Amino acid sequence: MNIIKRFSLGLLITLFLSISANADKIRIGTEGAYPPWNSKDSSGKLIGFEVELAWSLCRYIGKQCEIVEQDWDGMIPALLSRKFDAIMAGMSITAERQKVITFSQGYADEVASLAVMKGSSLEGLDTPEGINLSLGGSDVKKALKTLTGALAGKTVCVQTATIHQNFLDSGDVGKVNVRTYKTQDEVNLDLASGRCDAALAAAVAFTDYAEKSGKAVVLTGPTFSGGAFGNGVGVGVRQGGDDAIGQRDAELLRAFNKAIDQARKDGVISRLAIKWFGFDASM
Amino acid sequence: MDVDLIVTSFPKLLSASLVTLKLLSSSLFIGLFIGLLFAILRLNKNLIVSKFAYGYSYVFRGTPLLVQIFIIYYGLGQIESLRESIFWTILKEPYWCAIIAFALNTGAYTSEILRSAFQTIKPGFIEAGKSLGIKNKIIFYKIQIPIAIRQSLPAYGNEIILMMKGTSLASTVTLMDLTGVAKYIISTTFKPIEVFIIAGSIYLFMTFIIHNLIKYLEKKYSF
């Protein structure tokens, strides 16, 4: 009995020490499966635009950081249950997500697009180059009508719990057969195998896949922004509160906003964006 | 606890459990025939035939169900010549890929359950039949199979419950079964606890029904 008591006391102390050692570290959750935003190299190390940006932001904040891997579909629940303190996972700032968490200012933005395999009947749709759903207008309406006609009865694949899924579910392009996947990799695989007539995701996710796999994936239709597609990608943080923990969350949000300001001014975000996206996606 | 969410998601999850039941019953139905066939092959005196049957059950019992589904769904989809063959009309559909994987998996386990049941039949039963001048074929259908089925009921009941839980993997190949719909609701509400508790309760209720059904059958056919 004595041994058990001593052992559990020792365990408790170690646990307490490890918790207090971690208390000052900012833990940042990312998916590691959405290149070029965040992904993993062949040795399993996290790489990508947001991984490097996270390290930079932490230097600006002046605290130690730890990057934690988390499946996309559990990202927000994991933040809420304090598995980590911030999300940097290509997560767009949307009203729906802002009901449960809060976002820093946006640090990068890039458009979404439909992709099909070369030779598909959906190639070369008669739409403007890009539409902004927040602006509206006759151009947007006409483009959505064209898309509604073209996509009727087609299977469109998206990653689950994304702005792309929200857009298809919103009914803006009529009733399409939406198929949802856990990761973007699986969307790409099923697009290439022909199970999906089209897929919707960040345009760079498709160009990155086409480049790396050599598959004949091509973008089609307009690029999308605004509306269901949110207002850029920001750092997701828990909503602050009046208690001590809530104040720490609010403090963290302020720290991230300040760090993003500084990183933008120093040209760090632009430099990293050009490195990973091939164009300046910073905002 | 968000009681509203529990109330609104319950009917959605309930109708999704119909997909789960459909997947379960079709794969069990096909799996039972596969299992019976391979159990008989396994008892064949020809060594090549029995080794082949053993190899099948070894492979499908020795690899995770998730891996089997991924190989059938994503793996076969990568083979270009297959995509141009007529098999693609079936393999294109996630529903059929899931059923093929589940049926092959449960078939392997069922074959083992039935094989051991055949082997535990007391030789006396068969000898008694023979001494009455009954043909071998009739002995097999009227004596061996009914006894084997009765012997394997408890183990098979477990297999049904394991398979029922296994169908939750269908959600990984885009099917909207009970787990798939639960994940979908969570992806828009970000509240996993409420939704998974209801989904879990529905699974538990199905287990309760299956368990009691098997218990009833065991009693009815006891000897």
Report the relative pairing of strands A101-108 and A233-238 from DSSP bridges.
antiparallel
In this prediction, residue A191 carries a pLDDT of 96
In degrees and rounded to multiples of 5, residue A128 shows phi and psi of -65, 165
Provide the chain A residues 209-268 that lie in CB contact (below 8 A) with chain B.
Answer: none
Q: What is the CA radius of gyration of chain B?
A: 21
In this prediction, residue A137 carries a pLDDT of 87
Closest CB from B78, B174, B187 relative to A193? B78
Q: Is the model's pLDDT at B109 over the cut of 60?
A: yes
Task: Give chain A's residues under pLDDT 70.
Answer: 1-4, 7, 9-23
> What is the DSSP secondary structure assignment for residue A27, as one 8-state letter?
E
In this prediction, residue B24 carries a pLDDT of 98
Q: How far apart are CA A106 and CA A229, in angstroms?
A: 13
In degrees and rounded to multiples of 5, residue A204 shows phi and psi of -65, -25
In this prediction, residue A18 carries a pLDDT of 56
Give the end-to-end CA distance of chain B in Å, rounded to a whole number: 50
pLDDT digits (tens, 9 = 90+) for B19-60: 999 999 999 999 999 999 999 999 999 999 999 999 999 999
Q: How far apart are CA A156 and CA A149, in angstroms?
A: 14
Q: What single string gives the DSSP state of each residue in A216-276?
A: -EEEEEEEEESGGG-S-EEEEEEPP-SSHHHHHHHHHHHHHHHHHHHHHHTTHHHHHHHHH
Q: How far apart are CA B118 and CA A56, in angstroms?
A: 68
Bridge partners of residue A234, in order along the sequence? A106
CA torsion through residues A78, A93, A60, A242, sign: negative
In degrees and rounded to multiples of 5, residue A113 shows phi and psi of -155, 155
A193 contacts in B (CB within 8 Å)? Answer: 74, 77-78, 83
Q: What is the CA radius of gyration of chain A?
A: 21
How many Cβ pairs within 8 Å bridge chains A and B? 45
Amino acid at A4: I
- Can you list the domains of chain B with their CATH numbers? 21-173 (1.10.3720.10)
DSSP H stretches of helix in A23-106: 49-61, 75-80, 95-98
Bridge partners of residue A153, in order along the sequence? none
In degrees and rounded to multiples of 5, residue A70 shows phi and psi of -150, 135
Return the SS3 of B168. Answer: helix
> What is the DSSP secondary structure assignment for residue A34, as one 8-state letter?
B
In this prediction, residue A283 carries a pLDDT of 86
Sequence-distant (≥ 6) Cβ neighbours of residue B175 within 8 angstroms:
B19, B23, B94, B95, B98
In this prediction, residue B149 carries a pLDDT of 87
The reply to whether ipTM tops 0.85 is no
Farthest-apart Cα atoms in chain B, separation: 70
B70 contacts in A (CB within 8 Å)? Answer: none
CA torsion through residues B206, B208, B209, B211, sign: positive
Task: Please give the average per-residue pLDDT across B183-209, as a whole number.
Answer: 94
Contact call for B172 and A74, based on CB within 8 A: no
Put the strands of the sheet holding A198-202 in their side by side order: A130-132, A217-225, A112-117, A198-202, A155-159, A177-181
B191 contacts in A (CB within 8 Å)? Answer: 77
